[in-house]
Amino acid sequence: MPAGEHGGIPGKTGGMTMTGIKDRIHKSNEPLGGYICLIPSAVVTQAFAAAGADWLVVDQEHAPIGIETLHAMVAATAGTNCSPWVRVPKRDEAFVKPALDAGAEGIMFPLVRTAEEAAECVDLTTYPPKGHRGWGPFVAHSRWNVEMMDYLPNRGGETVCGLLIETRAAVDNIEEICKVEGIDYMIIATFDLSTELGVSGQFDSPVLVEAIRHAENAILKSGIALGASALTKEQAQANRSRGHRLLVYGFDIVMLKQHARQAATWVTE
């Protein structure tokens, strides 16, 4: 299911008021499609946002994206209903705080293995008294079109906290992780998980399939929104049939390279 085929996406940049992404995650059952952006480019980010993505992730874990470029990419989603998230390199205030203060609406945390680590993620994305997020929306308030002193009361509770389930320990501890309050979604990272389990890229391996099903069942039972890669229409539909809400449609650099390689064959086949 390509971005743009689910509820409310077509024409959403034409002035139609949309429900915030946090409410859409928690209060509806609609699929929410998005992309991982590794190309350090506001132009690429803007194109995905304008094309109808519900969310996108600026990837600082695996891509050469610094804070200035991150800000430009987050700002490029303005004027659309695409929610800008950042995958930070690790669970650390030094990465989380600048991303949020640059205007990101959500943080995607990699390599969360325990309930204690999951609780730290929630803490880093939540203002006091419930968390310990530092106050400093000097830049972020402009992205969300509010006055600086209105950012906390109007936007502070809208931050999305997401976890990547990509290790054996996370799968083993998934029931306890799911009990942590404040987690908005979890995405099962099949590429990393398959590597962790010793079957890298073997997505039909029984050990991987069993781990995925175990994690899926626990997450769905908890009521936390579930997601994973959905790189084809068939994969997206299969994921939806198993209760997935967040559909990762692709990685910008991979999609670009695949199309360029395909185009090169148009006059040789």
Residues annotated as part of the active site: 62
**Smallest Cα–Cα separation from 80: which of 34, 49, 35?**
49
Q: How far apart are CA 27 and CA 61, in angstroms?
A: 30
Peptide bond into 129 cis (omega under 30): yes
Both tokens of 163, joined, read: 């976890």
Q: How far apart are CA 223 and CA 156, in angstroms?
A: 23
Contact 215, 228 (CB under 8 A): no
- What single-letter DSSP state applies at residue 76? T
Longest Cα separation, the chain: 63
